[in-house]
C-alpha cells in the first residue's frame, strides 16, 4: 500500500529483541497514518520461535500481522508446537491473519519439515504465496522466506521479489488486489435466557401441571410428546441477540 514511501513515514510498532543470543529478533513497521494495537506474544523462544504480532485497523476491517523468524539451528519441533499455539490463540473467524516469515525451510524441496509445516498451516487456511527464489547462490536456489495468507479470504493478490543488494537474499512485496470495505452484516440469533429467575419460574409452572392427560394415555409416544410439550411451553423465555 505504501511501497516507495520514505522510510521516515514508517514506525516500529511491534518487535522482539534477543536478550541472550546475538544476530536475531523480529520487528514490524507500519505506516504512521494507520491505526493498530500490538499483541503481546509470550510463547517466543530465542532461535526456536521468534515472533511479534499486531492488529491493524483498516476502516471496517481488522487484520492480524504476524512476523516470525526461526534460526537454522533452532529446534524445529519446538517451532511447530509454538506456531500452532500462537495461531490457535490469534485465530478468530472475523479476523484475517497474514504471516511474514523467515523460518529457514526451503519450499522448493520436499522434506520432513515441509510435511509437518504444511498440514499445520492448512488447518488455519494459510497458504504459501512465494513461488520464486529468495536466495540464489553458486550451488543453490532456495526459498526460505515466505508469506502466508488466509486462502478463504484472499484469492486476488500478487507477490514479486525486490532485489536490494543489502542481504544474502532478496526482499519480497505482496499486493492485495481486492479489499472489501463494507462493514460486516449483523445476524440475529434466537436463544433461551437461562438464569436463577427463569429456572425458578420454570419449576413453579411445572409444579402446577396436573399431568392427567399425559398419564391417562397408554401410548408411550403420546406420553413422551406431552411431557416435551409441557417443558418447551414453560421454558420458552426467548431473547434475540445481534451479532
Q: What is the CATH number of domain 7-176?
A: 3.60.10.10
**Residue ranges of the domains in the chain?**
7-176, 188-242
Confidence of residue 68 (pLDDT cuts 50, 70, 90): very high
Distance from first CA to last CA of the chain, Å, rounded? Answer: 31
Task: Report the pLDDT averaged over residues 170-187.
Answer: 69
Q: What is the mean pLDDT of residues 137-154?
A: 81
The reported pLDDT for the residue numbered 194 is 76
Per DSSP, the three-state class of 221 is helix
- How large is the average pLDDT for residues 218-240? 69
Helices (H) and strands (E) in the chain, counts: 5, 14
Pick 227 or 70 by higher pLDDT: 70
**Pairing of β 61-69 and β 96-102:** parallel
Q: H or E segment at 240?
A: strand 238-242
**Res 40 pLDDT > 80:** no
- Give the pLDDT band of residue 93 (cuts 50, 70, 90): low
Strand-pair partners of 159 = 174
Whether 16 has a pLDDT exceeding 90, the answer reads no
Helix (H) or strand (E) holding 119: helix 112-123
Mean pLDDT, all residues of the chain: 79
Q: Find how far residue 26's CA is from the centre of its chain.
A: 19
Residue 81 backbone zone (phi > 0: left; psi -120 to 50: alpha; other: beta): alpha
- Percent over 70 (pLDDT), the chain: 82
User: How large is the average pLDDT for residues 128-146?
Assistant: 82
pLDDT confidence bin for 1, thresholds 50/70/90 = very low
The answer to whether residue 145 scores a pLDDT higher than 50 is yes
* Spatial CB neighbours of 167, under 8 Å, sequence gap ≥ 6: none
| pLDDT single digits (tens) 20-32 | 887 778 888 888 8
Mean pLDDT computed over 202-219: 74
Q: How confident is the model at residue 77 (pLDDT cuts 50, 70, 90)?
A: very high
Amino acid at each position: 500500500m505504501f511501497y516507495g514511501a520514505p522510510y521516515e513515514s514508517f514506525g516500529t510498532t511491534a518487535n522482539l529483541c534477543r536478550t541472550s543470543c546475538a544476530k536475531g529478533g523480529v520487528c514490524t513497521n507500519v505506516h504512521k497514518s494507520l491505526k493498530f494495537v500490538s499483541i503481546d506474544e509470550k510463547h517466543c523462544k530465542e532461535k526456536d520461535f521468534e515472533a511479534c504480532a499486531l492488529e491493524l485497523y483498516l476502516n471496517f476491517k481488522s487484520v492480524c500481522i504476524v512476523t516470525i523468524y526461526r534460526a537454522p539451528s533452532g529446534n524445529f519441533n519446538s517451532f511447530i508446537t509454538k506456531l500452532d499455539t500462537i495461531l490457535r490463540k490469534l485465530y478468530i473467524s472475523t479476523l484475517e491473519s497474514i504471516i511474514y516469515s523467515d523460518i529457514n525451510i526451503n519450499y522448493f524441496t520436499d522434506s520432513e519439515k515441509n510435511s509437518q509445516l504444511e498440514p499445520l498451516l492448512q488447518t488455519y487456511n494459510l497458504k504459501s504465496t512465494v513461488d520464486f527464489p529468495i536466495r540464489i547462490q553458486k550451488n543453490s536456489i532456495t526459498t526460505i522466506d515466505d508469506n502466508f495468507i488466509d486462502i478463504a479470504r484472499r484469492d486476488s493478490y500478487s507477490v514479486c521479489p525486490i532485489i536490494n543488494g543489502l542481504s544474502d537474499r532478496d526482499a519480497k512485496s505482496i499486493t492485495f488486489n481486492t479489499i472489501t470495505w463494507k462493514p460486516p452484516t449483523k445476524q440475529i440469533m434466537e436463544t433461551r435466557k437461562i438464569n436463577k429467575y427463569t429456572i425458578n419460574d420454570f419449576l413453579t409452572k411445572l409444579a402446577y401441571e396436573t399431568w392427567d392427560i399425559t398419564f391417562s394415555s397408554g401410548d408411550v409416544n403420546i406420553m413422551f410428546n406431552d411431557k416435551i410439550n409441557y417443558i418447551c411451553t414453560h421454558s420458552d423465555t426467548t431473547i434475540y441477540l445481534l451479532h
